[in-house]
Structures are given as C-alpha cells and as structure tokens.
Structure 1
C-alpha cells in the first residue's frame, strides 16, 4: 500500500529517526570497538613474549597468525562502520526527497520531529 500525506509523514519520521539516531549510535559503537582493537594490537607483542629457553622467535608461533586474524576482523569492522555511515546518509537524503514531494507528509514529519525534541510534560504526547 502506498502511503501519502500524514501516513507518509509518519513513515518518513521513522526513516529519519533510523538515519539520525539509530544508525549513528551503532556506528559509534563500532568506532569504540575499533579504537579498543587498535589499542589491543599495540599491546599484543608484549603479551606474547616468551622466554628464550623455548627457542625460536621471541614472540612465539601464534603471534603472526593472531595479527593476521586481528587485522582481518578489524578490517571487517571498519568496513561495516563505513557502510552504516553511508546508509544513514542515504536514508536521511531519501526521507528529505520524499518529504519535498508531499507537503502534508513533510508537515507531519516535521511535527513529529518537533514533538521528539519537545516532549510533553509527564511523558505524554
């Protein structure tokens, strides 16, 4: 069913909420995880040092494999974050384009945005 007017405005409001609130929040969580992974990578060599009595490389046989896995996972996380950011930008743009084509929908979307920014006392609408 194709929506227009107030129904479309309600849908656009939800789309804009996803674009401006939900996707950026998840992206920020990925950013925190990426930062923590970067910090861990810097500490791995110290953690994996082993006594020379074991022979071979001072970092042991697992070190290189761990770094490869770490870098692969980190690459996936960075790509996911970029995709989230691109998606929220596209969703926001789509909401604005559709709102520009239907004045009543735009008015309803803007009313709901205003209500979000200015909640009624007591939590009601």
Structure 2
C-alpha cells in the first residue's frame, strides 16, 4: 500500500501547485476551490493509505520476492447484475426534474418510488434468484 500512498501524495503535490497557478491565470474562485478540495482529498487518502501501510505486513504485490501464488484465494464478494440501480437513478431523475420545475406533486410520487427502489436494492439478496 506504500505505492498507492505515494501515488496519492504525488497527485496532492500536483494539485497544490496547480491551484494557485489556476487562480493567477484565470482569477476564478470556483475552479480554484475545486482544485484545493481535490488536493485536500488526495492528501487525506494518501495519509490514510500511508498510515495503514506502516502498520500492516507487505502484500505479495508490494514485495520484490512476492510470488503470484501468494495472492491466490478468495478476493471478496462481487454481486451479480442488478436492475435496482437503474430504477433508483430514474427515480432520482424524476425527483430532480420535479424540483427544477416546481411540481410538488411529482416530488411526492418520486419520493414514494424512491422508497420502494431503495428498499428493493437493500433487500435484493434476501429474496429471488440471488437469495442467501
């Protein structure tokens, strides 16, 4: 994880140098603020990875003498396809549209559909084909 910490550290340095340069060239507050926040985010992630890299043993891909077989095994749970994110995004689009045009009745309908889709997405592994 030290490599990842270095990558985020270099990225943070880049954004720290670019933010004042962008301000001097354009004088725009929005872009400068976005670049500063991006630098802070990269610093935060780099510090987190560096802190944990110092406390844990090196992974096989981090060592020079690491073998491919050492990294074998289960990597985690990867969910199969799901239609719920599509329905959640459609619902979010309806609610956003209703707020933009001031249609309060459509906001209520979108809120009801939103609750249904969130509940469906959360509980999709408790029923149906992929139930555990």
Larger Rg computed on CA atoms: 1
Higher relative contact order (CA 8 A, sep 6+): 1
What is the TM-score normalised by the length of structure 1?
0.40
The structure where helix makes up a greater share of residues is 1
What is the TM-score normalised by the length of structure 2?
0.38
